[in-house]
Amino acid sequence: MGSEKNRDIRLRQRPSGLPSPADFELVESEIPTPGRGQVLVRNLFMSVDPYMRGRMTNRKSYVAPFQLGEVLQGGAVGKVATSNNNDQFQAGDYVFSSNGWREWFVSDGADLQKIDPGPAPIQAYLGMLGMPGLTAYAGLLRIGGLKEEDRVFVSAAAGAVGAIACQIARNTGCEIVVGSTGSEEKRAYLIRELGITEAINYRECDDLAAALADAMPGGIDVYFDNVGGTHLTAALDNMRVFGRIVACGAIEHYNATEPPKGPPNLFQIVTKSLTMRGFIILNHFDMRERFLGDMNEWIADGKMTLRETVKEGIESAPEALIGLFHGENIGKMLVKLGEDGA
């Protein structure tokens, strides 16, 4: 860190299955010089998120695939080092951008959002106050139509989106909020720190559907699905009539090299009058103001927290991303790219 060079990470080859470090390339270059009207930004934190795996595969989807040899993209928070655009940005301003996977970059400002360092550490804009937070918020409240009386199940509950979803459900007044996760440490985190009703360590249970039935004998009204596959199947078996499935992610499948098996019990969507609804957070940015209002209030009241798992230095970004698929993170997985003030 604090090198006098700029470093970035590029996609060297498209991963087959789980990404490996050899799929990435660290490239060193000069720190760019901002031109007229431009600012120079020093990134402080970048985000790694499971959805990024999808962009590494060359297929049509809701967002264009990453191109080989080009710098990867993703959420980052940084600080303006030099500004030639003082009407909009001053040196010292904190900014969010999608220009992650690099230490420094120049911008004309159009792709920067100024962020308020007041309510929480700035990296919260990659977590609670950023895309994972808005994903949990829009997913539960708009897509899932969450109501106080709902019994809620969240998979990958100790991940960034899952942990926030658990707390939104709890803060909404839902009495039964159950999460699934992959270790006893995370289980303890969910119950003790996030205060949810029960947490299931899916790696330690032979029959997830039965474990869910034990934890939620009344069944599930809203399932926030981050996992797909086995979790979706087990949840379907436990959905209540008129239940809603918020289809957010399917981390179980992101590294699959063959088409995954769909849930054999999908017909319960008919027999139980279920609604399964998918969403992409890009289509729900209109909720951002309301989201930030609620989140900042919850944070101020001590009712919203998110642990961070932080890897140091841009060179660790590939392993941070890969670590998501091994469940290495509790809460938000971040890569620290620079010291504030450095």
> Can you give the binding site for a second copy, defined by CB under 8 A?
54, 61-62, 228, 232-233, 241, 247-250, 253, 259-280, 283
Nearest to 123 by CA among 48, 189, 193: 48
Give the three-class secondary structure for 11: strand
Q: Min. distance of Cβ 249 from a second copy in angstroms?
A: 7
Q: Say if strands 176-181 and 151-154 run parallel, antiparallel, or are unpaired.
A: parallel
Per the structure block, which two tokens stand in for 283? 């289509």
| φ and ψ at residue 166, rounded to 5 degrees | -55, -45
Q: Min. distance of Cβ 154 from a second copy in angstroms?
A: 16
- Closer of 44 and 250 to a second copy (Cβ): 250
Question: Kindly report the CA angle at 117 between 39 and 191, in degrees rounded to 5?
Answer: 130
Nearest to 179 by CA among 156, 195, 148: 156
- Closer of 10 and 253 to a second copy (Cβ): 253
- Closer of 24 and 51 to a second copy (Cβ): 51
- Per-residue CA distances from 268 to 143, 144, 221, 238, 273 (Å): 19, 18, 14, 10, 8
Q: 173: Cβ–Cβ under 8 A, 6 or more apart, which residues? A: 148
- Closer of 228 and 331 to a second copy (Cβ): 228
Give the three-class secondary structure for 222: strand
Q: Min. distance of Cβ 72 from a second copy in angstroms?
A: 20
- Closer of 16 and 271 to a second copy (Cβ): 271
| φ and ψ at residue 181, rounded to 5 degrees | -160, 175
- Closer of 53 and 186 to a second copy (Cβ): 53
Per the structure block, which two tokens stand in for 277? 């609804």
Question: Kindly report the CA angle at 24 between 20 and 28, in degrees rounded to 5?
Answer: 150
Q: Min. distance of Cβ 279 from a second copy in angstroms?
A: 5
Q: Min. distance of Cβ 272 from a second copy in angstroms?
A: 7
- Closer of 110 and 282 to a second copy (Cβ): 282
Q: Min. distance of Cβ 170 from a second copy in angstroms?
A: 24
Q: Min. distance of Cβ 6 from a second copy in angstroms?
A: 33
- Say if residue 189 is exposed, middle or buried (CB neighbours under 10 Å; 0-12, 13-18, 19+): buried
